[in-house]
Structure formats: structure tokens, C-alpha cells
Amino acid sequence: MFPVMTLPYGLLCRLGTLSSPVEKYHLQIAGGNFNICPPTFQTYKEELNCNLAVINGKLTLAKYSKAERKHVPVVLEDNALICYTFSLLLRISGLKHLSSDVFQHLLIKAHRMELYNCDMSHEFLQALSKLCLMPIKDIEIHDPYGGDFCVKSVVQAFPQVDKLKFYGVQLPDHWLTAMTEAQQSKLSFVYVHADPENVGKFEADELLAFLQKQNEMFTLAFHMGGLRDTDGYAKTLEKILKTYLKEEDLQQQRPEPQVRVCGYDIWRCFYLPKVEGSAAVAKKGKNKRAELPIL
């Protein structure tokens, strides 16, 4: 490690001049000295109501204006440094946008993230995770673009995620297994809002393995607004869930992992029995690899 503070004052000033606001801030933290890049130290301003969106092909930081009732572009001065401390909201962005100069003025210390119409490639997610200074615990993904959606890449890029919410996502077949294999920490909540044909195929034993890996109070919720109780898909799904899980009143909060299904006229809740019950369920389905229909 090079002892930066031993440099002559003039060189320290030059270092401060050449560094971006983010780089200068990190130098101060790493060196444990605010005077590491004189003549001034780098400060930041916390913001809660900002988002990042691509406007006219350029990634732009915007802040909500009560007067105009919409988000308006934020003018970033040369030494401006903005800190996200609650939630990062990113719209219509791809891998190339993550190299924008905007990130030289942003400290991302948020614990949650909302991604709207963004690229969901492995490369994009990995690059985005490197910009985050704190573990992301809560992720919402809305209507992604950029080819097949891979839940495994999401979990790998953000290994400490606790809650996942998918809106308008086309999930691939056997996504539960992919997520189970990639997980490094347990989940407490997964929400899927999609049409039945976009939830992907998975087998009942995949569902069981997935539920068994999560927190005790875990909930997997499917919201399929157009699904009716009389639909063939709904009947098949109900039959499979009743075979491997136990049904419970929606109003009851049990200490076991559960699956909730919501549709046009469907409100059902099923839970995974505790250890002794789980063993019985596994034995019951030992010779059956029942496959859940396309959700």
C-alpha cells in the first residue's frame, strides 16, 4: 500500500484535481484522512427521490419536483456528489449506460433497487452490483428487456438479496432449481406478477427443494390476475399443491414456508409442513415427478 499522505502538498492537490468526486470520497475513506486530497474535502448530499433514466440516449439523474409534479434533470456541478441511502431506481438502461459519467457523482448505499425496462443480462447485473457500496436486500424487476431472463444471474450478482419481486417477467423453465442452486443466503419473500404462460415450468420436487432452502416464514406469491378458478391450469395447479403441501386459511400466519396463489377469483394459501410432515410428503411423492403446469 502506497502511503499517499507522504506526498508533497502540491501532488496531493493535483491528485484531488484529477480524481472524480466518487474517487476522492473513496480516497478519503481509505486513507482515514479528509485532507488526503486538498485543498477541500469531498462531501456528499443524501437524496431519496431521485432516479436514473435514459433520456435522449443519455443516462440522466432526475429528481422529483413537487412544483412540476414530475422528475426533472439534476444539474451536477463538477464536485457534486449524491448519495442514495434508501432505494436506487433505474429505468430503461443497458450495460453501456453503466459507464456513464453520472456514476462519478453517485454513491449507491441503498439497500433496495427497482429496475424498470432494464437489460437483465449477466454482464449488466454484475456491472451494476459493482457500483453498489452496500448489500442489496430488496430487488424489484419490471418488464426487462435484452433476451432471456435468468434468475440465477440476479442471485449471483446480489448474493445477499432477501426479497425478490418480478413484474411482467418471462421466467424460464425450471427457474426455481436455478435459483436454489445459485443462492448463498436464504430468502424471505418472492413475488411473481405475470400471466400463467410466463411463469415457466417446474416440477413439484423443485418447488419443495426451493421452499426447504428458505427462511421459516418465507412466502412465494403468484399473482395471475386473469386466472379463474374454473381454468384447467388452475385446477391442475391446485391438485399439485394439495398433493405436496397443506392448505391454510389466507388470514392465518404460519411459521412455515408458504405458497400463495391469487387470480381473478382465486385466493389460496398452501404451506410446507415441518420436518416430520415434510418427510411424509416426500415419501408420498417419491415415485411421482409431478410437473407444475406453465404458470
Tell me, letter by letter, the H, E, C secondary structure of 207-246. Answer: HHHHHHCCCCCCEEEEECCCCCCCCHHHHHHHHHHHHHCE
What's the average model confidence in pLDDT over 77-106? Answer: 90
pLDDT confidence of residue 188 = 97
pLDDT confidence of residue 223 = 95
* Percent of the chain with pLDDT strictly greater than 90: 44
**DSSP result, 104-168:** GGEEE--SEEEEES-B--HHHHHHHHHHBSS---EEEEES-BSSS--HHHHHHHSTT--EEEEES
pLDDT confidence of residue 200 = 84
Please report which confidence band the pLDDT of residue 14 belongs to, taking 50, 70 and 90 as the band edges.
low
CB 84 within 8 A of CB 108: yes
pLDDT confidence of residue 187 = 97
- State pLDDT tens for residues 159-185: 999 999 999 999 999 999 999 999 999
Please report which confidence band the pLDDT of residue 262 belongs to, taking 50, 70 and 90 as the band edges.
very high
pLDDT confidence of residue 145 = 84
pLDDT confidence of residue 295 = 41
Collapsing DSSP states into helix, strand and coil, what is residue 248?
strand
| C-alpha cell of residue 29 | 475513506
pLDDT confidence of residue 186 = 96
Instruction: Give the integer Cα–Cα distance in Å for 111 and 83.
Output: 12
Please report which confidence band the pLDDT of residue 17 belongs to, taking 50, 70 and 90 as the band edges.
low
- Give residues with Cβ within 8 angstroms of 228, minimum separation 6: 234, 263, 264, 265, 266
Say if residue 97's pLDDT is above 70: yes
Instruction: Give the integer Cα–Cα distance in Å for 190 and 119.
Output: 20
Instruction: Report the predicted TM-score, pTM, of the whole model to 2 decimal places.
Output: 0.84
When mean pLDDT is compared over 43-47, 191-195, 229-233, 291-295, the highest value belongs to 191-195
First-to-last CA distance in the chain?
54
Instruction: Give the integer Cα–Cα distance in Å for 173 and 163.
Output: 21
pLDDT confidence of residue 239 = 79
Taking CB atoms within 8 Å and a gap of at least 24, the contacts of 145-149 are 145/117, 145/118, 145/119, 145/120, 146/94, 146/118, 146/119, 146/120, 146/121, 147/121, 148/172, 149/120
The mean of the pLDDT values for the chain is 83
Of 272 and 43, more confident: 272
What's the average model confidence in pLDDT over 258-285? Answer: 74
**115 strand-pairing partners:** 90, 141
CB 70 within 8 A of CB 81: no
Of 146 and 260, more confident: 260
* Percent of the chain with pLDDT strictly greater than 70: 82
pLDDT confidence of residue 126 = 96
Q: At what angle do helices 232-244 and 275-284 cross, to 10 degrees?
A: 120
pLDDT confidence of residue 254 = 77
- State pLDDT tens for residues 197-247: 888 888 889 999 999 999 999 999 999 988 888 888 888 888 778 878 998
* Other Cβ atoms within 10 Å of 38 Cβ, number: 13
